[in-house]
Structure 1
């Protein structure tokens, strides 16, 4: 193959690569753009045909209406409480369980890991009826613990952290043990410092999933005392019997902002964590 042919192939690959990235950007970015623009439109402007991609007149009152029509800040508070507790519990349990599966010896360790893999394959919706019956029997409906406890499983986090811990060179672990490091010291002084990017990825994924959780809180919550923000947006949609999509989209933008900021700040660490397969000495 001559140099010109090789150069043409490289240019062709780059063109296809940029075209693919442009398609992905359009698929992901267009709905977000539509949501943001709709949040600034008046109701007649939303239903115009042909569709308008820019508000004829900016109507920021949709945001004040979204906040005032429902108990927005109560729902926001509940989302922060539920997400913070669930993310913290899942993070701690995921790290500790993965550490035990990799660095500790105990009978049935392989069976435990198979159980975790099986849990990953079972959709959460399958366990809704049994969990609901159990939580209702305990009297936990419309409580934070009724929402949080059934969602505190850590199968994904354990799987992610276990795979990363397996990539840590055995020489580092053996050297720490020869220096007299016990299990807790090995975890705190050796394993965790080598696992920063993966832990950030685990934390971000967990926070995003819990912030957007809808089905289980919808079944458990009866009012704004414990219902998270996704439930509040549903009430906003049905508030006056006829959906006014401007405030609904404004509420959606407000709900996305906290997670979007967190993701943009930590996305590099997340990518490193998901792609890390070795430790540099």
Structure 2
């Protein structure tokens, strides 16, 4: 059964923006909102090789303030407003080896990409949401905000922890003015990037790809569900949270990790 059949018109007339929306979970989120009837804008540094012509693409480097300014200006100039902002952009490019191998540049890039990019976009789009008394902001964080992996992704984990904290504080400020702010913290998602990582681990260590997957799950302390999430599963949660069916939800973090985090 098509997951979207019951929801294909509930976002009709809405303008939505998804950062990092050309691949992985971001692509799935953009397509989920599109299938619900929204006009969807996607942001990435490079256009996809096989673009969806129904999505509006803007090229921008959101780790830089000029990139954020470009997006805010183009969106408001062309569409007049923004109703839904999904801050999905994020990732880690730091090498393994723990804190001793991490430079100031590693920390600054992680914080610019994973924390300050959403902060700047919120600042750019919130005024018109507050003026209209309507809007939804989703921050895509990570379970690493609570379950950091010190070997190679500590700056990423710290930035996502900051994003979770910021999201809660922002919701307290703007929810009384009818703008909802929510955080979604996924665990491991089975994207093209993670598939490439499994191949790299397999080739570097001489194990099979399935064994590489088991190594990653073990490093996370295990995934009780037994596998990573599919991008569409994360997208379905986002689709619900930005919909009118979730109108009373704000200031909350939703974890979607197959049971990875071992505590309540």
Question: TM-score interval w.r.t. the shorter chain?
Answer: under 0.3
Structure holding more strand per residue: 2
Output the TM-score relative to the length of structure 2.
0.26
Larger Cα-atom Rg: 1
**Structure with bigger RCO (C-alpha 8 Å, 6+ apart):** 1
